[in-house]
Amino acid sequence: MSGIYIHIPFCKQACHYCDFHFSTSLKKKDELVHALAKELVLRKDEFKNQKVETIYFGGGTPSLLSIEELQFLIDEVYKNYEVSENPEITLEANPDDLTHQKLNDYAASPINRLSIGIQSFFEEDLKLMNRAHNSEEAKKCLEEATKHFENISIDLIYGIPGMSNARWIQNLEMALAFNIPHISSYALTVEPKTPLATFIKKGIIKNVDDDLAQEQFHIMIEKLEAAGFIHYELSNFGKPGYFSRNNSAYWQGKPYLGIGPSAHSFDGKHRSWNVRNNSKYINSLNEDVVPIETETLSITDKYNEYVMTGLRTIWGVSLKKVELEFGEHYKNYLLDQAQKHIIQQLLYLDDGKLLVTKKGKFLSDGIASDLFKINLS
């Protein structure tokens, strides 16, 4: 069981908060698509004994590719890998790309899940973030998309400077009105070297208010759980049967192959990542060389990753798994470190699993880092 992630590094324009790898020039799009196909062929042996359960087009903005280009890449996966009978094939898309024609094309293709970057239904938020779509397009595209697809996820951002709790509630209510079965939602974070960081530094935009973001996080949990969503991962809510299979595999430590510039891969023992430069990536693949760096994960690295991903999910951190995979010393260390968080009611033990309480959820990454093991030989 494994997944293939394909990174499409193109965007119409740069969002002010984004530090992902992308280009706003589409000049090298054809070359890049062929380089992606070449990488899929060159790396097929890495997945020799794996069945591909999920194919995920992420970015960037994969909806900038034509249906022919997307189909070409899907065909390359099927030609070179063993794909399960009913794979989840997700396409990330922006509302301004989702025309009636494109949605018709996607619905007729093997793509069976859309992840739409709405971020907010309000004009002022979209302008602040420099999104390529407007409020009207956000609503229109969902009206149209829900006619063609049942399995839709949307992204929403909270903690935006100037966004009141009342406006955040309206955002959630608008999302719920479309009967979407999956919502991914993130606090706005200020990444270094982004336009957002510069605007805040210059006083053009107010800084992010962490207390307000925390309030909005708890409002979201309450609203979405009341509407039948399961909060299965820190930033993800799904109706039963609609959890993201791609992301769930990642959080559960299953192997995945990352194709494209800046994409990361994991095989259970090693983590690797491709060069973060489109020209270097294309030139290297033209020479039949995958421009990749690899690190071998130590037992401590694997333990830390398991704690980090486990605490973010409803599956928690299994004490039995920690003992079996890392040894009794790690299990005892984990329990010792967890004690103060259990006393503070941020963590709890249930059926041999360590889980985050509702109160601790917003702080789960910080709590996880407290449980990390450093320099254990």
The 3-state DSSP composition of the chain as helix, strand, coil percent (nearest 5) reads 45, 25, 35
Give per-residue pLDDT as tens, 293-312: 999 999 999 999 999 999 99
pLDDT of residue 309: 94
Q: How confident is the model at residue 88 (pLDDT cuts 50, 70, 90)?
A: very high
Separation of CA 105 from chain center: 24
Average pLDDT over residues 187-202: 72
pLDDT of residue 18: 64
Flag whether pLDDT at 26 surpasses 80: no
* Dihedral (CA of 343, 303, 182, 100) sign: positive
Closest CA to 354 of 319, 312, 306: 319
Give the single-character DSSP code of 204.
Answer: S
Separation of CA 59 from chain center: 10
Flag whether pLDDT at 275 surpasses 70: yes
Q: Is 259 exposed, middle or buried (0-12, 13-18, 19+ CB in 10 A)?
A: buried
Percent of the chain past pLDDT 70, that is, above it, reads 93
Closest CA to 259 of 93, 44, 69, 89: 44
Flag whether pLDDT at 148 surpasses 90: yes
pLDDT of residue 90: 98
pTM exceeds 0.95: no
d(CA 147, CA 129): 28
pLDDT of residue 194: 66
End-to-end Cα, the chain, rounded Å: 31
Average pLDDT over residues 52-77: 95
Q: Assign 3-class secondary structure to 313-374.
A: ECCCEEHHHHHHHHCHHHHHHHHHHHHHHHHCCCEEEECCEEEECCCCHHHHHHHHHHHCCC
d(CA 51, CA 143): 35
pLDDT of residue 191: 73
CA distances from 101 to 108, 145, 361, 371 (A): 11, 11, 41, 50
Flag whether pLDDT at 376 surpasses 50: no
d(CA 318, CA 311): 10
Beta carbons of 39 and 70 less than 8 angstroms apart: no
pLDDT of residue 259: 98
Residue found under tokens 């109160």: 359
Report the 10 Å Cβ neighbour count for 82.
Answer: 13
The token pair at 195 is 């336009």
